[in-house]
Amino acid sequence: MVAVNLMSSPGSGKTTLLERTVRDLGGQLPIGVLEGDQETRLDAERINATGVPAVQINTGAGCHLDADMVDAGLRALAPEPGALVFVENVGNLVCPALFDLGERARVVIMSVTEGADKPLKYPHMFRTADLMLVNKVDLLPYVDFDVARCVSYARRARSDVPVIEISATRGDGLENWYSWLHELRAAPSR
């Protein structure tokens, strides 16, 4: 199993990206999803609607997933050997950065509707990220967001972090995201 911990602010597009990703890759490899939120089963229902198994984890007042929650979620999900499992963390650029969920890789999503200075203000999240996705590039014409500046700020936290620009709604860059996932899955575990 290869687990990917997906983290971002609320509303950066994690669930929309996952809906599209599991639709596009679900025929090629076994996939499962753990969905973290304070309350509701909305996100697991969105993933289940694609035909891919998803388990919702509710944290109540909690601000992040922890390894025990993921362990319990994986028992319920029971992914096939070799499966790609996405763990969508609680929407929060702060607390999830500090918790190791046993994931193979940590992915942080920035949306271009947020400020480019976020990697400076929330450095813990960007310091541990194995990939930064810059989402909602379809909105770039309408907002004041400098992608190059945001990337340079993220690389102050982690100098070699790869960056992929995407639009989860329009489809831009998704082939690069899928290639990254295939390479991650093919790579020997660390």
Q: How far is the CB of 159 from a copy of itself (least distance, A)?
A: 17
> What does the block give as tokens for 103?
């994931």
Binding mask 4-43 for a copy of itself (x = CB under 8 A): -----xxx---x---------------------xxxx-xx
Interface pick for a copy of itself out of 22, 95, 137, 174 (rule CB under 8 A): 95
Q: Does 91 engage in binding with a copy of itself (CB under 8 A)?
A: yes
Q: Does 98 engage in binding with a copy of itself (CB under 8 A)?
A: yes
Annotate 122-140 with b (16+ C-beta within 10 A) or e (fewer). Answer: bbebbebbbbbbbbbbeeb
What is the C-alpha separation between 173 and 20, in angstroms, rounded? 12
Pick between residue 5 and residue 92 the one whose CB is nearest to a copy of itself: 92
Q: Residue 68: CA atoms inside 13 Å, Cβ hemisphere, count? A: 2
> What does the block give as tokens for 4?
């990917």
Tell me if 177 sits within 8 A of 21, measured CB to CB.
yes
What is the C-alpha separation between 181 and 4, in angstroms, rounded? 9
Interface pick for a copy of itself out of 128, 136, 167, 180 (rule CB under 8 A): 136
Interface stretch with a copy of itself, choices 67-75, 81-89, 93-101, 176-184 (CB under 8 A):
93-101
Q: Does 63 engage in binding with a copy of itself (CB under 8 A)?
A: yes
Tell me if 25 sits within 8 A of 106, measured CB to CB.
no
Bridge partners, 53 (sequence order): none
Q: How far is the CB of 144 from a copy of itself (least distance, A)?
A: 8
Q: Return residues touching a copy of itself (CB under 8 A).
A: 9-11, 15, 37-40, 42-43, 61-63, 90-95, 98, 111, 113-115, 117-118, 120-124, 136, 138-139, 142-144, 169
